[in-house]
Amino acid sequence: MVDYLGLGPAKKKRKAFPKSVKDLVRKAQGNKCAVCRRSFTTNNRAQYDHKNGKNWDNRAANCQAIHAGCHDRKSRTQSTTRAKKAKTKKKSDPWGLDNLKF
């Protein structure tokens, strides 16, 4: 496919984990959060997180059941890390010329 507009490859669509994967992961974790190791309850339910951050990769190996608070903390940390990394890259090479080969 030719990219006439210069937008790059199309983004993969986000997909939720299938119920079979959720059940498998939760059972493998002993009905406990992968981050804090506390049990899930009716008031503190499981959320399912993509370990590698690729929200289209729904393999069981990429899934972990975690509490909402743990999920928020993990996501905030990852977002901050990504932002710092992008800012550093932007400062050092604003036009992406460092990787060009002549």
pLDDT-based confidence at residue 22 (cuts at 50, 70, 90): very high
User: Distance (Å, rounded) from C-alpha 82 to C-alpha 76?
Assistant: 10
- Residue 46 DSSP SS3: strand
Whether residue 8 is predicted with pLDDT greater than 80 in this model: the reply is no
In the chain, domain spans: 13-73
pLDDT-based confidence at residue 49 (cuts at 50, 70, 90): very high
Q: Which residues contact 6 (CB under 8 A, 6 or more apart)?
A: none
0.85 exceeded by the pTM? Answer: no
